[in-house]
Structure 1
Amino acid sequence: MKTKYIDLIDQSFYFPQEEFTLAEDKLQFHGIDLMDLVKTYGAPLKFTYLPQISNNINRAKYWFQESIKRHNYKGDYHYCYCTKSSHFSHVLNEALKNDIHIETSSAFDIDIVKNLIKSGKLSKDNYVLCNGFKRDKYIENIAELINGSHKKCIPIIDNYEELNLLTEAIDGPFNVGIRIASEEEPKFEFYTSRLGIGYKNIVPFYNREIKGQENVNLKMLHFFINTGIRDTSYYWNELLKCLKVYIQLKKVCPTLDSLNIGGGFPIKNSLAFEYDYQYMVDEIIHQIQRACEEAGVDVPNIFTEFGSFTVGESGGAIYQVLYQKQQNDREKWNMIDSSFITTLPDSWAISKKFIMLPINRWYEDYERVLLGGLTCDSDDYYNSEQNLNAIYLPKYIKDNPLYIGFFNTGAYQESVGGFGGLQHCLIPSPKHILIDRDDHGNVVTKLFSEQQTANDFLKILGYDEQN
């Protein structure tokens, strides 16, 4: 009878996989011995595997280049990184090694852009696309960038007032884009995105506010839907509606030459994950080309803004199972040495699933368990692995510690969880490790941040100021 954890994985998934392999009974991630990481730095810990950022960027660039070549598409492709997915310097530094561009969302993003320009990592040849709802400080920072001769900074108009605000703040000619307020899936609580301008209002807005202005050139139409790039009738329908607007706009606006299709590539959230990226890119290029040819207009340059896809698969978290609580005859709770609410907030807030695997003891018997965090909140748990109805892990043994890893957690978790700030029930943020490879392919690790201490919390809360 097959009762070992490795047996369960073998009969459920194709294993090993590109990034997950075994060395004896221990899990390796991209060839990295995770138990060695635990022995060196302890648990809990978070890590970022930097080479995966470059790997995913170059995968996407390859798919688009292949499709452009296959279809003899006359436009160019530009890969932008959506900075709100992770603003950390190590992420931006790695991403910018790959001839990409930047998409920003708020005023302080521009301060990061200025820092990158000052350090020589970003140049005037890099596009800076400015999305989001813009008011005083954001407008001021965008204007400062453009007035400083960064002409490839393109603010994307989100509402009717932004154009006048930008015109007042910017000296001389500048380029803009317009964001389409796409219609949401029927399951949403609202019909139309709060971001952007409605389909029917874009051409009238251009004719009324932009056409004839000497200092303003419309260069880009921006399209994005919350559900991401998926092979569904909803996605293709919204894309076709976007292309109709692009064609109508192109016929009255000769400066329009770019279509930004946003982000939305999914990342791997299960060992059973399947997604044909090349097919989706081929179909997107084909749909754009066919619509433009039928309408007799030039095809646009294509921009994407991949955030989660860029950085998500570079991140991971490792916890130790501290104790097992048998709460009734069916439920066993494995208690981890941290909190899901604070360290993986998407698992709590939007029920997002990550790849979860044990780090050690793969050749031992397994059991069905629930995973609980350290806070006193009843919602601090992780209840199921993707594609399974429960969590199965090697059996808890008090004197033989079990370590578990959550993978592809690199997007949003630190910013949503409040990196370096207060945590629910004052559970400390774990230490964070950066993993890279040297010129010879050897693994190099570096401590990015220590685990929070009591003094860190006391200082934030103001107690260090009391006598």
Structure 2
Amino acid sequence: MKTKYIDLITQSFDFPQDEFEMDGEYLKFNGIDLKALVEEHGTPLKFTYLPKISENIQKAKGWFEKAREELNYEGTYNYCYCTKSSHFRHILGEALKNDIHIETSSAFDINIVENLMKEGLINENQYVVCNGFKREEYVENIARLINNGHRKTITVIDNYEEVDLFSEAIEGDFEIGIRIASEEEPKFEFYTSRLGIGYKDIVPFYQTMVKPNERIKLKMLHFFINTGIKDTSYYWNELTKCLKVYVNLKKVCPELDSLNIGGGFPIKNSLSFSYDYPYMAKEILLQIKAICDEEGIPVPNIFTEFGSYTVGESGGVVYKILYQKKQNDKEYWDMIDSSFMTTLPDAWAISKRFVMLPINRWYDKYERVLLGGLTCDSDDYYNSEQHVNAIYLPKYDSAKPLYIGFFNTGAYQDNISGFGGINHCLIPQPKYILIDENYEAKVYSEEQTHQNVLETLGYNK
């Protein structure tokens, strides 16, 4: 009878997989010796495997370039990284090795861009696409970037007021985009995105507020779907509506030449994850080309804004199971040595699921459990996987420590939890490790101490 944890996994999934393999009874992730990592650095532990960022970028660029060749698509393809997914210098430094562009969303982003320009990591030929609702400091920073000579800065207009704000702040000619306020999926609590300008209002907006200003060139139509690029009737319907706007706008605005299809590719959240990336890249270009050919207009240059896809699959978190609590006849709570709310806030806030696997004890018998965090909040738990409404782990044994990993956690979690700040119940922030292409591990930050926390709170000053 097959009752070991490894039997459960190999019977349920195709395993090993590209990034997951076994070294004896221990799990490896992208070739990383997780056993050695835990032995050297302990837990809880967060890490980023930097080469995965470049790998994913090159894959996406390859899919779109191949689709362009097969379809004889004459527009260019431009890969943008959404900085809001992770603003760390080491993340952007790795991403920018791959001849990409940047998408920003707030004022401080521009300060980061200026810093990267000083380092020579961003040059005058790389686009800076400025998104988001823009208030005074963001407007000032974008204007300074353009006035200082970075003319490949495209300001994506989010509301009617921004045209006048930028006209006053920017010297000479400048380029803009217009963001479409897309309709959300039916399950959303609202009908239309709060960001951008409505489908029916874009052409009148251009004719009354943009076209009369000879200093402004409208170069981009920005189309963003909150749920990302998926092979669903909802996505294709919204893309078709967007393309109709592009066609109508192109007919009255000849300088319009770019379409930004923000709202990126998904990342792996389960061992059963399946997504045909090459098909989606080709189908998107095919749909765009078909409508443009039918209308007799040139195809647009394509921009994508991939945040989670760029950085998400580079990250992981490792915990130790401290103790098991039996709360009734059938609920076994494995308690981790940290908090889900503070280290994986998306798991708590939006019920996001990550790939979760044990690091060791794969040849032990398994049991169904719930995972609990250290805070005194009843919401600090993780109770199911993407592919099944349950969690199975090797049976708890106080004499045999169990370590578990959550993988593909690299996007948003540090930004949302507030890296370096105060966490719920003052649970300390874990040690953070960077791993390079030679599997050399460098400590980026040590685990938070009580001195760090007290100083931030105003004590010990």
1:460 and 2:456 correspond = yes
Q: How does 1:208-287 map to 2 (within 5 A)?
A: 208-287=208-287
CA distance in 1, matches of 2:43, 2:363: 22
1:394 positional shift: 0.6
2:436 is paired with a residue of what secondary structure?
Answer: strand
* Structure 1, gaps ≥5 residues long: none
**CA distance in structure 1 between the aligned counterparts of 2:142 and 2:186, rounded to whole angstroms:** 36
Q: Which residue of 2 aligns with 1:448?
A: 444
Q: Supply the AA of the counterpart residue of 1:455.
A: Q
TM-score by length of 1: 0.98
> Structure 1 residue 264: deviation in Å?
2.1
Look up the match of 1:124.
124
Q: Distance in 2 between matches of 1:258 and 1:369?
A: 50
Question: Counterpart in 1 of 2:45?
Answer: 45
| Cα distance in 1, alignment partners of residues 313 and 183 from structure 2 | 29
Q: Quick check: 2:226–2:263 contact (8 Å CA) kept in 1?
A: no
What stretches of structure 1 move > 4 A for 4+ residues in a row?
none
CA displacement at 1:443 relative to structure 2: 1.4
* 1:346 has 2:342 as partner: no
Contact 2:243/2:291 (<8 A) preserved: yes
1:179-206 alpha-carbon deviations (Å, 9 max, x no partner): 0000111111111100000000000000
1: CA distance, partners of 2:212 / 2:253: 10
1:185 and 1:318 mapped to 2: Cα distance? 34
Q: TM-score, normalised by structure 2?
A: 0.99
Question: Could you tell me which amino acid in structure 2 is paired with residue 122 of structure 1?
Answer: I
Task: Mark the runs of 5 or more structure 2 residues left unpaired by the alignment.
Answer: none
Find the aligned partners of 1:152 and 1:263 in 2 and give their Cα distance. 21
* Alignment match, 1:177: 177
Q: Deviations over 1:333-360 (max 9, x none)?
A: 1000000000000000000000000000
1:359 is aligned to 359
> CA offsets per residue over residues 198-228 of structure 1, 9 Å max, x none?
0000000000011132210000000011111
The corresponding residue for 2:308 is 308
Deviations 1:14-61 (A, max 9, x none): 000000000000000111110100011110000000000000000000
Partner AA of 1:18 in structure 2: D
Alpha-carbon separation, structure 2, partners of 1:198 and 1:385 = 37
How far, CA to CA, are the matches of 1:339 and 1:201 in structure 2? 46
Letter in 2 for 1:464: N
* Alignment pair present for 1:145 and 2:145: yes
Name the aligned partner's letter for residue 186 of structure 2. P
Matches within 5 A, 1:152-191: 152-191=152-191
Match of residue 77 from structure 2: 77
Q: 2:264 and 2:226 mapped to 1: Cα distance?
A: 8
> Is 1:108 matched up with 2:101?
no
Q: 2:371 is matched by which residue type in structure 1?
A: L
Q: Which residue of 2 aligns with 1:56?
A: 56
| Aligned-residue identity in percent | 70
Letter in structure 2 aligned against 1:294 = E
Match of 1:181, SS state, is coil
Give the root-mean-square deviation of aligned CA atoms.
0.6
- Alignment match, 2:377: 377
Is this contact kept in 1: 2:159–2:197, CA < 8 A? yes
How many residue pairs get aligned? The number is 461
- Alignment partner, residue 333 of structure 1: 333
CA deviation after TM superposition for structure 1 residue 386, in Å: 1.6
Whole-Å separation in 1 of the counterparts to 2:248 and 2:386:
43
Alignment of 1:20-39 (within 5 A): 20-39=20-39
Contact 2:172–2:215 under 8 Å retained in 1: yes
Give the aligned residue type for 2:439: V
Amino acid at match of 2:27: L
Report if the CA contact (8 A) 2:203-2:248 is conserved: yes
